[in-house]
Amino acid sequence: MDEKIALLLEELTRALGDLEKTGIRAEFEKLIAFRVPPDVAKESILRKFGGKRKTLKVKDLSANIKNFELTGRILDLGEKPIRQQAGTQEKPSRLYTGVLADETGSVLFSSWRELPGSIGDVINIKNAYVRIWQNRIRLSIGEQSPVSKILDSSLPPMSELSASQKKKLTDIGTADFSVDTVACVLQLSYREVLTKGHQSRVISGVFADETGRLPFTAWIELVGIDIGSIIRIEGAQVRMFRGMPSVSILSGTKISSVGSEEAGKLAFTFESAAKDPVPIKIEEINSRDSVFDVSVAGNLVSIRPGSGIISRCPECSRVIQKGNCRVHGKVEGIWDMRIKAVLDDGTGSVSVMFPRELAEIIYGKTLEEAEQLMFSDVSKDAVYEDLRRFLTGRYLAVRGNSSRSEFGISFVAENAWVPEEDLAVRVVDLLRRLGQDEEDGQDKNSQVSGGGIELA
């Protein structure tokens, strides 16, 4: 072997681990076979499998991040046979799945390779990546992800890591499975559902504390619990729906009322938690995976394509194209209206979707009036163009839920209004900034004239 190539392989091994097991050596040799200069091949391999790898904790994981390093203890591990299609033949394989945890949380994982450890062991994973599966974050360990067993680790023992995490509502996220929390009940509703041939009563509602709110579902009776109650929840399960966590109270969950003396020491009361949420900056929304029941205010800087009159499937309500639903095929669509916009407050921007009820309010036209405009103009885009002219640049406050998916942050509005109460404040701030700009301009002019600068 060429001495230079051997040296480069040695450097790659130090950076990326065992090249044979991970298949990285084969990738390197393939580049060399295609006459890629060895130094260039090495840099290409490092960018693909190494790059600027970050060391993360479980709490740092979010959708679609990749090329990071993580150390955790295996809380659960299983395997199942998988038959993969390789050309015209099926190739038997095994998928290893389980739960990995550190002191910040726990996460589901899947690996196409057998791991060098069992339940209770600590492993280190390099070049890992994250995928969203069934609305949950999943840590993925690929063929090019070096995994090693750590014999001497400072991570807490398995008994501590597998216990429910005590968390505030705003800290509950996609990496959580079982949590303990203290919250007050803001909303309660009841419905009957059919489960295993029997009618069961399900309780739904909203919890709140000083940090925020989250929806919950209880599959057991909440004896003595009503709106306004402050309760301690232990061992509740965390479920995900469309990127938003919710608290699920099952038979194994312990519920108890918080006494008045202890409640007086909490950072919230029912009255304070029940107040309408104060608008926050969009940069804060963009820094989190999801936020339930939050409000923001800003300017509509763009009305996106897909806004205006749309046609929905009568069976599943999906948007249909040319009379075809991707699930139910050829259908007779039902007219609907929506607005997809970009809201910007100077700290960031977020995509907001307004359903028909809100679209009619902020547009000032009903669905029927929008249909008349579309038919009179003989163009489906007439409503979209009218929306752009009417709404672009408008200042608006919206309230709803935000969540992160593989396509980015999306905000579904449940309410919208023009915040006239802060109009005077914004006008004063604008005049102040304009006055400051004029003063700065005068200062610059005086400096130029006083310095004797001549322009050719």
Tell me: the pLDDT tens digits for 208-227? Answer: 999 999 999 999 999 999 99
- φ, ψ at 202 (rounded to 5°): -110, 135
Secondary structure of residue 328 in the 3-state scheme: coil
Task: For 39-63, write each residue's pLDDT tens digit.
Answer: 888 877 776 665 556 889 988 887 7
The 10s digit of each residue's pLDDT in 311-351 is 999 999 999 988 899 889 999 999 999 999 999 999 999 99
Q: Write phi, then psi, for 70 (nearest 5 degrees).
A: -145, 140
Say how far apart CA 183 and CA 218 lie, in whole Å: 14
C-alpha 339/C-alpha 384 separation (Å) is 9
Residue 207 has pLDDT above 50, yes or no: yes
Residue 12 pLDDT > 80: no
> H-type helices in 127-200, by residue range?
158-161
Tens digit of each residue's pLDDT (9 = 90 or more) over 370-381? 999 988 877 778
Mean pLDDT of all residues in 399-406: 84
The yes-or-no verdict on residue 393 having pLDDT over 70 is yes
- Give just the sign of the alpha carbon dihedral 279, 394, 421, 436: positive
Assess whether pLDDT exceeds 90 at residue 127.
no
What is the amino acid identity at position 413?
Answer: A
The pLDDT of residue 86 is 55
Interstrand relation of 213-218 and 165-166 (parallel, antiparallel or unpaired):
unpaired
Q: Nearest to residue 41, comparing CAs of 70, 4, 85, 81? A: 4
Dist CA 374 CA 308 (whole Å): 10
In sequence order, the β-bridge partners of residue 113 are none
**Is pLDDT at 85 greater than 80 in this prediction?**
no
- pTM value is 0.66
Distances (CA, A) of 324 to 311, 317, 337: 10, 12, 18
Asked whether the predicted pLDDT for residue 1 surpasses 60, the reply is: no
Q: In degrees rounded to 5, what are phi and psi of residue 40?
A: -65, -40
CA nearest 355: which of 368, 344, 367, 345? 367
Residue 454's pLDDT is: 37
Q: Using CA atoms, how far apart are residues 147 and 124, in angstroms rounded to an integer? A: 6
Tokens of 233: 């929840």
Within 10 angstroms of residue 117's Cβ, the number of other Cβ atoms is 17
Looking at per-residue pLDDT, the higher value among 168 and 195 belongs to: 168
128 and 112 in contact (C-beta within 8 Å)?
no
- Spatial separation of the C-alpha atoms in residues 174 and 197, rounded to whole Å: 31
In the predicted model, what is the mean pLDDT of residues 13-22?
Answer: 70
Q: Are 350 and 296 in contact (CB under 8 A)?
A: yes
Percent of residues in the chain assigned helix, strand, coil, to nearest 5? 25, 40, 30
Please count the helices (runs of H) and the strands (runs of E) in the chain.
12, 22
Reported as type and span, the H/E element at residue 373 is helix 367-377
Calculated CA dihedral for residues 369, 370, 376, 381, nearest 10 degrees: 170
Give 213-267 pLDDT, tens digit per residue. Answer: 999 999 999 999 999 999 999 999 888 877 788 999 998 899 999 999 999 999 9
CA atoms within 13 A on the CB side of 406: 11
- The answer on pLDDT for 135 being more than 90 is no
Sign of the alpha-carbon dihedral angle for 247, 252, 257, 258: negative
Residue 177 sits at φ, ψ, to 5 deg, of -115, -50
What integer pLDDT is reported at residue 22 of this predicted model? 67
First and final CA of the chain: distance in angstroms? 66
Q: Determine the Cα–Cα distance for residues 242 and 394; give it in Å rounded to an integer.
A: 29
How far apart CA 8 and CA 130 sit, in angstroms, is 29
Express each pLDDT in 351-360 by its tens digit. Answer: 999 999 999 9
